[in-house]
Amino acid sequence: MSQTQTARLMDGAGLARRIVEHSTARAAQITRESGTTPCLATVLVGDDPASVTYVRMKRSRSEKAGIVSRHVALPATTTTAELVAAITALSQDPEVHGILLQHPVPSHIDERAAFEAIAPEKDVDGLTLSSFAALSFGLPGFVPCTPGGIMRLLEEYDVDPAGRHAVVVGRSAILGKPVGMLLLAANATVTYCHSRTTDLPSMVRQADILVAAVGRPRFIRGEDIKPGAVVIDAGYNPGNVGDVDFESAATRAGLITPVPGGVGPMTIAVLLAQTVDAAARQLGDLRSDR
């Protein structure tokens, strides 16, 4: 028997569009006032089809926003030293304001060493140790884009995490862990769940704010959602399916992100916003946009 949807949709696509429009206007203003156009460098090692597609999308969205796209494509045989040298050159290049190294790199490369070659002020993807430390100390810095997008969505829908129980399912360095840290900084009481969590449903049932970042289609069942909860589905699985069983969850949640059109579009919007912010700071405009 199908039940009625009670949840309000969180329109990430609409919010992302507005953020991109704002970044576009800001990029044009920086270009006008400084004579320099914000520039995002993308670095891709090898030719993994998914990575090629992601990078192509990021480049074309940057260009549409009036951000120069510089691309460095390296063969799959690139060594750690060669990749570090290429990224160091971008870090030292005054015409480059943001650097994105597409993850994953081939397994023979020391990925951490490569990320650490990104100058912190150009780390618009928020993946260096310096950015991570700033995040955990509550200091200014760039945040990983998907977690940053999730926090902006909560803000947009007037969800104040303070005092609420946020349950994050997933603890990856790019998504689960940092989103939990951002929620903690926003005064939520945070529980992390992962593959070793026993009795996940009982944890999910306690969530006022649930973030699903697992990478398993329809993994979170509606019957476990607390009535009225805010459900953020960061999952993106083949066939445009999230980590939450949307149909059943939407009959219990108060707010829910759809897949597609929820968290997904926010990631690239935050990337562009942080690139423009990085350019503004490097070009002497110390006003942060946020």
What strands, in cross-sheet order, belong to the sheet with 209-212?
Answer: 8-9, 255-256, 230-233, 209-212, 165-169, 189-193
Name the packing angle between helices 264-282 and 49-64 (round to 10°): 60
Cβ distance to ligand NAP smaller for residue 30 or 270: 270
Binding mask 155-194 for ligand NAP (x = CB under 6 A): --------------xxxx-xxx----------------xx
Residues 217-246 that bind ligand NAP (CB under 6 A): 234-237, 243
Active-site pick, 123, 125, 208, 233: 125
Please say whether the beta carbons of 44 and 73 come within 8 A: yes
Nearer to ligand NAP, 216 or 281 (CB): 216
Task: Give me the least distance between CB of 242 and ligand NAP, in Å please.
Answer: 8
Mind giving me the DSSP string for 70-129?
Answer: EEEEE-TT--HHHHHHHHHHHHH-TT--EEEEPSPPPTTS-HHHHHHTS-GGG-TT--SH
Q: Would residue 58 show up in a list of annotated catalytic residues for this protein? A: yes
Is 176 within 8 Å of 192 (Cβ atoms)?
yes
Contact track, ligand NAP, 50-89, x by CB under 6 A: ----------------------------------------
Cβ 86 to ligand NAP, closest distance in Å? 24
Number of residues that bind ligand NAP (CB under 6 A): 26
Nearer to ligand NAP, 77 or 112 (CB): 112
CA distance 98 to 177: 23
Binding mask 102-141 for ligand NAP (x = CB under 6 A): ----------------------------------------
Task: Decide: residue 144, CB within 10 A, 0-12 exposed, 13-18 middle, 19+ buried.
Answer: buried
Give the tokens for residue 16.
């992302």
Stretch that binds ligand NAP, among 36-44, 49-57, 58-66, 211-219 (CB under 6 A): 211-219
Residue nearer to ligand NAP on the CB measure, 128 or 146:
146
d(CA 39, CA 96): 5
Of 182, 211, 213, 256, which lies in the binding site for ligand NAP, with binding defined by CB under 6 A? 213
b/e for 13-42, b at 16 or more Cβ within 10 A? eebbeebbebbbebbeebbeeeeebbbbbb
Tell me how far apart the alpha carbons of residues 259 and 139 are, in angstroms, rounded to a whole number: 32
Nearest approach, Cβ of residue 65 and ligand NAP (Å)? 17
Q: Name the site residues for ligand NAP (rule: CB under 6 A).
A: 146, 169-172, 174-176, 193-197, 200, 213-216, 234-237, 243, 263-264, 267
